[in-house]
Amino acid sequence: MGQPLRVGLVGAGNISAQYLATFDRLADLELVAVADLDLERARSVAEQHGAVGLKVPELLSRDDVDAVVNLTVPAAHADVSLAAVAAGKGVYVEKPLAATTAAATQMLDAASAAGVVLGGAPDTVLGTGVQTARSAVDGGAIGIPTSAMATMVTPGHERWHPAPDFYYQPGGGPLLDMGPYYITALVTLLGPVVRVIGAASALRDERVIGSGPRAGTRIPVSTPSHVTGALVHASGAISTLLMSFDAVASRAANIEVHGTEGSLAVPDPNHFAGTVSVATTEDPAWRELPVSAGYRGAARGYGLADLLWEGAFASDPTAGRAQGVVAFHVLEVMEGVLEAAREGRSVEITSTVERPAAVPLDDR
């Protein structure tokens, strides 16, 4: 690929370790700097990976940073991304793209005007799990897709996360935290969404941190912690969504896709791999499908690598699969579900996207 893409990472919290492992492994991505509100933490993390720890303005001013990976909390996604774009850097943002579609629109407009790349997580859909499922759908394994069900239930992240406050603030909750994995997978499998309905609740007004130095601390809940919705796809297929921090467990498949000739069980879209199973009218017994598509080595950060490999940083900022327009559409869908829940009506989705190109089986 020639010279590697030189990366500056902003936000050295929990998720950063997974990205850093990918940067260490892929020769096409070179970590050069790390920034964090806690400068000592930035320096400590950077030192472990052969980079330098800096304040955010210092990182953005460096000529040897081609792209910024924005791992800050959702409320800061827009400010950090806009500053990076203003500095002429490409940006790859953790999910959700921003806390609101209004902020995300500013990001897209700024990146377009500057002619720089704006990508967005999740990139889990590039792995062999969702891509093998997509290959089955596209190959007619279940006939014409008619519906899907997506289910994510957990008691809540405060049990394990040492600083879970933002999960229970606007921009968080089970829908904006975990929903991007599921809805991005549904868009990948079934195409864009045109209309949504929803219902939501928050039956507890506070949570208790269960681990770390703040264990036992009570934190307020100011966003729904249980959300359900129906997504009407442009294709006519209808997806049912359940995202909850108020349940213990579920035996439901993470995602099921149903068609006129069969049904498909799709693995957890929060992971890159997993078993895809199919049952058809001709053979109703569930059977596993062999891996047939996707990046075999995929991990956090492959969305940025895919943008590079597909030419987004060389000739066309809109190339690649993990584009910000996809993340924006997913964000609008989630915002629409919450609006529908508040107002008791269906909400039209104004944005649309093409399904990102399928990923052929790739050993990288």
> Tell me, what's the pLDDT at 2?
72
* Closest-CA residue to 340 (of 178, 171, 199): 199
Question: Are residues 304 and 289 both part of a single domain?
Answer: no
In this predicted structure, what is the pLDDT of residue 207? 96
Q: What is the residue type of 53?
A: G
Strand, helix or coil at 148? strand
What's the Rg (C-alpha) of the chain? Answer: 20
Domain enclosing residue 31, as ranges:
5-123+298-324
- Cα(59)–Cα(34) distance, rounded to whole angstroms? 7
- Give the pLDDT confidence score for residue 158 in this predicted structure: 95
C-alpha 35/C-alpha 59 separation (Å) is 7
d(CA 71, CA 11): 5
Q: In sequence order, what are the beta bridge partners of 152?
A: 243
Is the residue at 85 inside a domain? yes
HEC sequence for 70-113: ECCCHHHHHHHHHHHHHCCCEEEECCCCCCCHHHHHHHHHHHHH
**Three-state DSSP class for 129?**
helix
Contact between 227 and 177 under an 8 Å Cβ cutoff? The reply is: no
Contact by Cβ (8 Å): 77, 7: no
Query: pTM of the prediction?
Result: 0.96
Residue 189, domain member (yes or no): yes
**Shared-domain flag, residues 144 and 231:** yes
DSSP 3-state assignment of 337?
helix
Rounded to 5°, angle at Cα 188 from 277 and 67: 125
Q: What is the pLDDT along the chain (364 residues), one digit of tens a residue?
A: 579 999 999 999 989 999 999 999 999 999 999 999 999 999 999 999 999 999 999 999 999 999 999 999 999 999 999 999 999 999 999 999 999 999 999 999 999 999 999 999 999 999 999 999 999 999 999 999 999 999 999 999 999 999 999 899 988 899 999 999 999 999 999 999 999 999 999 999 999 999 999 999 999 999 999 999 999 999 999 999 999 999 999 999 999 999 999 999 999 999 999 999 999 999 999 999 999 999 999 999 999 999 999 999 998 999 999 999 999 999 999 999 999 999 999 999 999 999 999 999 999 9
Per-residue pLDDT at 333: 98
Domains of the chain: total: 2
320 and 286 in a common domain? no
Query: Would you say residue 362 lies in a domain?
Result: no
Residue 217 lies in a domain: yes
278 closest CA partner among 125, 134, 152 = 134
For residue 122, whether the previous peptide bond is cis, meaning omega lies within 30 degrees of 0, is yes
* Contact criterion met (CB below 8 Å) for 230 and 240: yes
Q: Are strands 226-233 and 287-289 parallel, antiparallel or unpaired?
A: unpaired
CB count within 10 Å of CB 282 equals 7
Same domain, 303 and 271: no
**CATH number for position 82:** 3.40.50.720
Whether 178 and 226 map to the same domain: the answer is yes
Specify the residue for token string 């895809």: 276
* In contact, 279 and 286? CB cutoff 8 Å: yes
- Clarify whether residues 42 and 164 are in a common domain: no
Nearest CA-CA partner of 118 in 285, 283, 316: 316
Q: Determine the Cα–Cα distance for residues 32 and 327; give it in Å rounded to an integer.
A: 26
Please report, for the domain that includes residue 201, its CATH number.
3.30.360.10
Angstrom CA distances, 6 to 14, 69, 108, 121, 292, stand at: 22, 11, 22, 19, 32
